[in-house]
Chains A and B, each alone.
Chain A
Amino acid sequence: MEEFVLIMRHEDGKKIASPEQMQIWMKQTMDWIGGIAAQNKFSSGTGLLFEDARVVRPNNVVTNGPFGEIKETIGGYIIVKADSIDEAVEFAKGCPVLQGEGNSMEVRRIAKGDGVH
């Protein structure tokens, strides 16, 4: 069993959804995570808030928000346990973020810190 991180990428973080829409997405996300946890495959994870975000660049340049010249931004991630990258990909397919056009899920194997991986 290995660990994979599933990263939720939003095409445009500046798009503001209605509170009702947000609530629906929130429920769907919770149900999605709950479904993974019910298979005993959930390790950890969190959402990332868009408010009060900063980007730090070389020479102490700090700007507001992760948005700017790059529109795409990260909305959150979860770490899952899976036997293979394919199983992790199956989990990622269920993420409600994918309902948004242009959004994507990035699936990455987590380094074990054993000096090999």
Chain B
Amino acid sequence: MAFTKDYKSLCTFAGAFRMEKQELIPHLFRTEFRKITAVLCKLFGIQHIEIAEDLASETFLSALETWSFKGIPENPVAWLYLVAKNKAKNYIRHNHLFTEEIAEQIKYSSSDTREVEIDLSDKNITDSQLQMLFAVCHPSISTEAQIGLSLRILCGFGIDEIANAFLTNKETINKRLFRAKEKLRLEKVQIEFPGEAEIDERLGTVLTTLYLLFNEGYYSESRDKVLREDLCLEAMRLTHLLIENEKTNQPIVNALLSLMCFHSSRFKARKNESGEIILYEDQDESLWDRELISKGVYFLHEASQGNRLSKYHLEASIAYWHTIKADTKEKWENILQLFNQLLQIEYSPIAALNRTYALSKANGKVEAIIEAEKLNLVNNQFYFALLGELYTDVDNKIAKQNFQKAFLLAKTNTDKQTMQKKNDSLKPST
């Protein structure tokens, strides 16, 4: 089936036909492709994931062709589901080999007739997506591949978009997805809800992937602003999917969603129009999304039940304190203690640097400089940026030296510009 699998190509089609609502098909593709794929893949089994994807793509191709001539149907989603069902039934009917292979599954899902039932009810869509999430985030495949597969299968992203988000090319992404699917086949990963005994562990892998997916969007160097935000929103949607299910609605999941809400509340404020990062202290507070902040507070409250303190709890609490702009002693003391705890659970250079910044705010620069020098992260641009910050107004000559080192290590133009500005704003101390 050599069909157009890509969202971008479908959009080009839509444009060519000058559709009444040019936005409609891309929008439906984004929301419905993943649902149809998940339901079909659940029915066929993970080894036939590509057939499920192809059938979903063909459904959209039919929509483009038919709607261009006959106009958009009254209920486009119902139309898509009906066509997807028919295409799947046709495929099963005409591919005996395939049918034999999945016969057992089909028997279960159909009643007494020979006709295959394809269940595109809300419940089955949600269940299938959730089960797919666990399948895709299987510990046997690499994290990078998990993120790619999630974007493709669970979020309906095009290969172009995934490549753009990862700042790489289509071939690399195609290869990565191909290998990941091979691995899923080889490991015979089941599309099912994990059992009681293993749910915590499997949930941990899923959360790591969602966390990274979110960060991919939040910290992406990609120039495409809409794409970056979409990545974050998709990560939040999938996390919310876990919260909607009784078995996975655990404090740790709420903590992760809370963290995502707090971070994304600063979307509008953290980059200017040319994509340069606006540092936290320079951000226009009125651009922070209050609704997302209150959602964050809600999920953080939900997360506070139970007695396990995860890194997501601590990171969400740190993010909470950052939603209060005023520079109070209380704020920085709380942030410092949260970082102290976070680092005991999981070390990362960026947490170590942020902890030291909080230390300077809570305990003063003198103590923070001593602690900062001990970190000795000599290959890290942010280490020197921090030292520059700490030495500012203490010893501006040393501050400038550090900003210059940070400038040399900076990998992006934005970072280089930021360090240049910091350096230029300092007059050497006499």
Question: Which residues of A are at the interface with B, using a C-beta cutoff of 8 A?
Answer: 27, 30-31, 33-35, 37-40, 42
B343, A42: Cβ atoms under 8 Å? yes
A33, B340: Cβ atoms under 8 Å? yes
B residues 316-355 touching A (CB-CB < 8 Å):
333, 336-337, 339-341, 343-344, 347, 351-352, 355
Kindly state the separation between the CA atoms of A27 and B351 in the bound complex, as whole angstroms: 19
Kindly state the separation between the CA atoms of A34 and B367 in the bound complex, as whole angstroms: 13
B375, A31: Cβ atoms under 8 Å? no
Q: Is B374 an interface residue (CB 8 A)?
A: yes
Kindly state the separation between the CA atoms of A35 and B370 in the bound complex, as whole angstroms: 10
Write the nearest CB–CB distance from B346 to chain A, whole angstroms.
Answer: 9
Write the nearest CB–CB distance from B355 to chain A, whole angstroms.
Answer: 5
A37, B340: Cβ atoms under 8 Å? yes
Kindly state the separation between the CA atoms of A98 and B330 in the bound complex, as whole angstroms: 27
When A40-B347, A42-B344 are in contact, do A34 and B339 touch as well, CB less than 8 Å?
yes
Write the nearest CB–CB distance from A1 to chain B, whole angstroms.
Answer: 13
The residues of A that contact B343 with a CB separation of less than 8 Å are 34, 37-38, 42
Considering only CB atoms, which chain B residue lies closest to A32 in the complex? B340
Interface size, chain B (Cβ < 8 Å): 19
Q: Is B159 an interface residue (CB 8 A)?
A: no
Q: Is B359 an interface residue (CB 8 A)?
A: yes
B356, A30: Cβ atoms under 8 Å? no
A35, B374: Cβ atoms under 8 Å? yes
Considering only CB atoms, which chain B residue lies closest to A41 in the complex? B347
Write the nearest CB–CB distance from B331 to chain A, whole angstroms.
Answer: 15
Q: Is B222 an interface residue (CB 8 A)?
A: no
Question: Which residues of B are at the interface with A, using a C-beta cutoff of 8 A?
Answer: 333, 336-337, 339-341, 343-344, 347, 351-352, 355-356, 359, 363, 371, 374-376
A30, B340: Cβ atoms under 8 Å? yes
Write the nearest CB–CB distance from A92 to chain B, whole angstroms.
Answer: 15
Kindly state the separation between the CA atoms of A39 and B352 in the bound complex, as whole angstroms: 7
The residues of B that contact A31 with a CB separation of less than 8 Å are 336, 340, 359, 363
Chain B facing A: main interface SS: helix
The residues of B that contact A40 with a CB separation of less than 8 Å are 347, 352
Closest 9 CB pairs of A and B: A34-B340, A37-B343, A38-B352, A40-B347, A30-B340, A37-B344, A38-B355, A35-B371, A38-B343
Considering only CB atoms, which chain A residue lies closest to B343 in the complex? A37
How many contacts between A and B, using CB within 8 angstroms?
A: 46
The residues of B that contact A33 with a CB separation of less than 8 Å are 340, 344
Write the nearest CB–CB distance from A3 to chain B, whole angstroms.
Answer: 15
B347, A37: Cβ atoms under 8 Å? yes
Kindly state the separation between the CA atoms of A75 and B264 in the bound complex, as whole angstroms: 43
Kindly state the separation between the CA atoms of A38 and B346 in the bound complex, as whole angstroms: 10
Q: Can you sample 25 A-B contacts with CB below 8 Å?
A: A27-B333, A30-B337, A30-B340, A30-B341, A31-B340, A31-B363, A33-B340, A34-B337, A34-B339, A34-B344, A34-B355, A35-B374, A37-B344, A37-B347, A37-B352, A38-B351, A38-B352, A38-B355, A38-B356, A38-B371, A39-B374, A39-B375, A39-B376, A40-B347, A40-B352
Kindly state the separation between the CA atoms of A19 and B415 in the bound complex, as whole angstroms: 46
Write the nearest CB–CB distance from A70 to chain B, whole angstroms.
Answer: 31
Considering only CB atoms, which chain A residue lies closest to B349 in the complex? A40
Write the nearest CB–CB distance from A86 to chain B, whole angstroms.
Answer: 15
Q: A30-B340, A34-B341, A37-B343 are in contact. List 4 more A-B contacts (CB 8 A).
A: A31-B336, A34-B355, A37-B344, A38-B371
The residues of B that contact A34 with a CB separation of less than 8 Å are 336-337, 339-341, 343-344, 355, 359
The residues of A that contact B355 with a CB separation of less than 8 Å are 34, 38
Kindly state the separation between the CA atoms of A85 and B356 in the bound complex, as whole angstroms: 25
When A31-B359, A31-B363 are in contact, do A38 and B375 touch as well, CB less than 8 Å?
yes
Write the nearest CB–CB distance from B334 to chain A, whole angstroms.
Answer: 11
Kindly state the separation between the CA atoms of A37 and B339 in the bound complex, as whole angstroms: 10
Considering only CB atoms, which chain A residue lies closest to B333 in the complex? A27
Considering only CB atoms, which chain A residue lies closest to B354 in the complex? A38
Kindly state the separation between the CA atoms of A112 and B371 in the bound complex, as whole angstroms: 30
Kindly state the separation between the CA atoms of A100 and B246 in the bound complex, as whole angstroms: 51
Kindly state the separation between the CA atoms of A35 and B353 in the bound complex, as whole angstroms: 11
Write the nearest CB–CB distance from B328 to chain A, whole angstroms.
Answer: 16
Write the nearest CB–CB distance from B52 to chain A, whole angstroms.
Answer: 44
